[in-house]
Structure 1
Amino acid sequence: MSAGKIDPMEQFLVEPVLGRHIELFGYDVSFTNSALFMVVVFVLLAVFMSGGLKRQLIPGRWQVAAEGAVSFIDNMVKVNIGSGGKKFAPYIFSLFFFILFANLVGVLPLAILPGLHTFAVTSHITVTAVLAFLSFGIVLLVGLWKHGLKFFSLFVPHGTPLWLMWLIPPVELLSFLVRPFSLGLRLFVAMTAGHILLEVFGSFVVQGLNAGGAMGPVVSLLSFVMIVGVSALELLVCAIQAYVFALLTSLYLHDAVHLH
């Protein structure tokens, strides 16, 4: 990176936490910043759910929040999967809150403190792709286990005329196979774009202050206002993307459980 310039893609670099790579049998097993923030997300989620394990007769705010989170996912599963969907609630819950916590941790303004910098694990396609293909794999396993070869009738919509049988099933199959890619890419693109915008406007603030003159402070002020606006939008996107990922997974599971 050139002196005085800010690289908006630098924040996505996966680097060893200890500053050097560790190899074992020819494989890099370094504990990276990505792994560190996954652990952070897991710990935060565990701490949050510990409030729901108190089972007090008169629940406190923490317990109410945890129980409300569980009820929210139960309702999502009940509405979108229907009968037989209760068993998938733990997975949908884990999926939704892991993505939500990972998104929120990624936008924490820790960079204002010296030596600290957050890492958004959901801004990496490897993470979002694993979540998407895991969901897709569960859908396939559930569909084949429950219906056997009848599962493939999912690609023949009810009422399809015979003269369109050469076209509709391949289109439905292609649409089905695209699902994991759309799931992973949607979350990845949304989080990456937001972080790049924040970094770019942050560089405008710094460069405006360093430029001096009459326009420098104006550019910095306008850029700071944009940072505030984009940050507020990012918080909304964090929740929406977690909800959409969990919702679509529920709908795909509905297709696997009930077919048409």
Structure 2
Amino acid sequence: MLALWIIVLLASSVFGDVSIVAPSAGGTYEPSGSTVSIDVKWADDNSTPKLSDIDSYTFLLCYGSNANIKCLDSTTDTVEASTVSADSDDKYTHAFSFSSSLAGNGQYFIQINAISKKLGYTLHYTPRFTLKSMSGTSTQTYSTNTQPPAQTDITSGGNTNVATTTVDTSVSFTVPYTLQTGLTRYAPMQMQPGTTVTATTWTRRFPTSAVTYYSTFRNSLNQVSTVTPGWSYILSSAVNYASPAPFPVSNGGWYDPKSRQTLTTRKRNAGAIRASSTA
């Protein structure tokens, strides 16, 4: 049993770059004036990618269950990693601020998207906290004491010391793509067509959605990446051992054009052709 716990602890420590220190679970935050400011603090856990490999961080206010994460795009806050430095305790801090009108009272958590241009990205979620005295109209009633698991899409970049275990993102794939709002979204697995077609009329797989257009240039990304799962099935194939068909000249499909020619070919000089064309 002890060995099992050691394995679990080791497995949980290989994911991520970002080890979240604050905010702590169960905290409460209120706006000052019309702005809410939450200090997000994290440390480098010395796994791949290291914080020195990160180019930027994007913070989003999120709510909902671990299986149905919803984020408020209007709270998107992106900062360059070079602007965030470690303190004397090797902790990194960013003041995540947003207008109190963008959210209502309720339980929330923060998504941290650490992006490395050469390695990929990781997603981490802070413990859940409560916002109160907010001026937003949508109150969040869902409440739990756990945050969503971390997610990652990292390539080793030739480093043989990188852990090959991947984070379980299966929960994210259960949310319909059109209902996802995070910077990273999860597409359904590609399926193969059947061998027969039984439908006689077409039907829409997904409902239509509204289209809205920007009136000004947006200063942040609406989406960073789409993750598509690999196949959970295997396509079988075999070698075609049938003898190749012979070339037309060998199977009677080819013929000499002269064999169908009924008139004798004649050669006319160019002068005669020009004379006949001008007559």
Category of TM-score, reference length = shorter chain: under 0.3
- Which structure dedicates a bigger proportion of its chain to helix? 1
Larger Rg: 2
Structure number with higher relative contact order (C-alpha < 8 Å, ≥ 6 residues apart): 1
Q: Taking structure 1 as the reference length, what is the TM-score of the superposition? A: 0.23
- Which structure dedicates a bigger proportion of its chain to strand? 2
Q: Taking structure 2 as the reference length, what is the TM-score of the superposition? A: 0.22
